[in-house]
Chains A and B, each alone.
Chain A
Amino acid sequence: MNALRNFLDNVKPKFQEGGKFAKFRSTFGAFETFLFTPNETNKCGVHVRDAVDLKRTMIVVVLALMPALFFGMYNTGYQHFRMTGELADVTFWQIFFKGFLAVLPIIVVSYVVGLAIEFASAQMRGHEVNEGFLVSGMLIPLVMPADVPLWMVGVATAFAVIFGKEVYGGTGMNMWNPALLARVFLFFAYPTKMSGETAWYYNYSAEAAVDGFSGATPLAMANAGNYTSFADAFFGLIPGSVGETSAVAILIGAFILLYTGVASWKTMLSVFVGGIAMGWLFNTCGSAENPMAQLPWYNHLVYGGFCFGAVFMATDPVTSARTEGGKFIYGFLIGAMAIVIRVLNPGFPEGMMLAILLMNTFAPLIDHFFIQANINRRKKRVTIKA
Chain B
Amino acid sequence: MSDVIKLKKGLDIRLQGKAETVFAQIPLPELFAIKPSDFKGLTPKMVAKVGDKVQAGSVLFFDKQHPEVKFVSPVGGELVAVNRGDRRVITEIVVKADSKAAPIDFGKSDPAAMSRQQVVDKLLESGAWTYFKQRPYNIVANPTAEPKAIFVSTFDSAPLAPDYDFIVSTNEEFFQKGLDVLSKIAPVYVGTHNNGCSKAFSGAKCEKVTAFEGPHPAGCVGVQINHTNPINAGEKVFTIQPQEVVTIGKLFATGVHDFTRVVVLCGSEMKKRAYVKTILGAQLTTMVNGNLADGHVRLISGNVLTGTQVQPDGYLGYYDSQLTAIPEGDEYEFMGWAAPGFNKFSASRTFFSWLTGKKHEYKLNANTHGELRAFVVSNEMEKVFPMDIYPEHLIKAIMAEDIDKMEQLGIYEVVEEDMALCEFVCTSKIAIQKTLRNGLNLMMKEVG
Interface residues of A (CB under 8 A from B): 1, 4-5, 33-42, 44-57, 59-60, 128, 130-132, 169-173, 259-262, 264, 317-318, 320, 322-324, 367, 371, 374-375, 377-379, 381-382, 385
What are 12 A-B residue pairs whose CB atoms fall within 8 Å in the complex?
A1-B334, A35-B335, A36-B332, A40-B367, A47-B324, A49-B370, A51-B344, A52-B346, A371-B393, A375-B409, A381-B232, A382-B233
Could you tell me how many residues of chain B have their Cβ less than 8 Å away from some Cβ of chain A?
A: 74
Bound state CA distance, A170 and B434, in angstroms? 24
A-B contact count (CB 8 A): 206
- Do residues B345 and A46 form an inter-chain contact, with CB atoms below 8 A? no
Residues of A within 8 A of B425 (CB): 50
Bound state CA distance, A262 and B378, in angstroms? 9
Bound state CA distance, A37 and B298, in angstroms? 20
Chain B nearest Cβ from A329, distance in angstroms:
15
- Also in contact, A55 and B377, with CB within 8 A (given A50-B426, A260-B350): no
Chain B nearest Cβ from A72, distance in angstroms:
23
Chain A nearest Cβ from B307, distance in angstroms:
7
Chain B, residues 168-210, CB within 8 Å of chain A (1/0): the string is: 0000000000000000000000000000000000000000000
- Do residues A42 and B366 form an inter-chain contact, with CB atoms below 8 A? yes
Bound state CA distance, A131 and B429, in angstroms? 14
- Do residues A51 and B341 form an inter-chain contact, with CB atoms below 8 A? yes
- Also in contact, A41 and B366, with CB within 8 A (given A51-B346, A130-B373): yes
- Also in contact, A48 and B378, with CB within 8 A (given A36-B333, A37-B369, A38-B371): no
- Do residues A132 and B376 form an inter-chain contact, with CB atoms below 8 A? yes
Chain B, residues 348-362, CB within 8 Å of chain A (1/0): the string is: 111101000000000
Contacts of B415-438 to chain A: CB distance below 8 A: 416, 420, 423-429, 431-434
- Do residues B416 and A45 form an inter-chain contact, with CB atoms below 8 A? yes
Nearest 4 Cβ contacts at the A-B interface: A53-B370, A172-B374, A37-B336, A51-B344
Residues of A within 8 A of B434 (CB): 44-45
Contact of A40 among B15, B368, B393, B428 (CB under 8 A): B368
- Also in contact, A172 and B375, with CB within 8 A (given A54-B427, A56-B337): yes
- Also in contact, A323 and B374, with CB within 8 A (given A48-B304, A53-B427): no
- Also in contact, A52 and B364, with CB within 8 A (given A47-B300, A375-B408): no
Residues of B within 8 A of A33 (CB): 371
For residue B446, CB closer than 8 A to chain A, the reply is no
Among B26-34, B85-93, B213-221, B382-390, the stretch in contact with A: B382-390
- Do residues B336 and A36 form an inter-chain contact, with CB atoms below 8 A? yes
Bound state CA distance, A56 and B429, in angstroms? 13
For residue B392, CB closer than 8 A to chain A, the reply is yes
Residues of B within 8 A of A1 (CB): 334
Further contacts, 15 of them, CB under 8 A, given A42-B367, A57-B377, A322-B378: A37-B333, A37-B336, A46-B424, A47-B324, A48-B15, A48-B326, A53-B371, A54-B373, A54-B428, A55-B370, A317-B379, A324-B379, A324-B382, A378-B232, A378-B388
Query: In the complex, what residue of chain A is closest to B230 when comparing beta carbons?
Result: A381
Chain B nearest Cβ from A165, distance in angstroms:
11
Bound state CA distance, A128 and B393, in angstroms? 24
Contacts of B304-319 to chain A: CB distance below 8 A: 304-307, 309
For residue B110, CB closer than 8 A to chain A, the reply is no
Contact of A378 among B305, B370, B408 (CB under 8 A): B408
Contact of B420 among A46, A50, A374 (CB under 8 A): A46
Residues of A within 8 A of B390 (CB): 323, 371, 374
Chain B nearest Cβ from A383, distance in angstroms:
10
Residues of B within 8 A of A39 (CB): 329-332, 367
- Do residues B376 and A46 form an inter-chain contact, with CB atoms below 8 A? no
Bound state CA distance, A52 and B349, in angstroms? 9
Residues of A within 8 A of B351 (CB): 51-52, 56
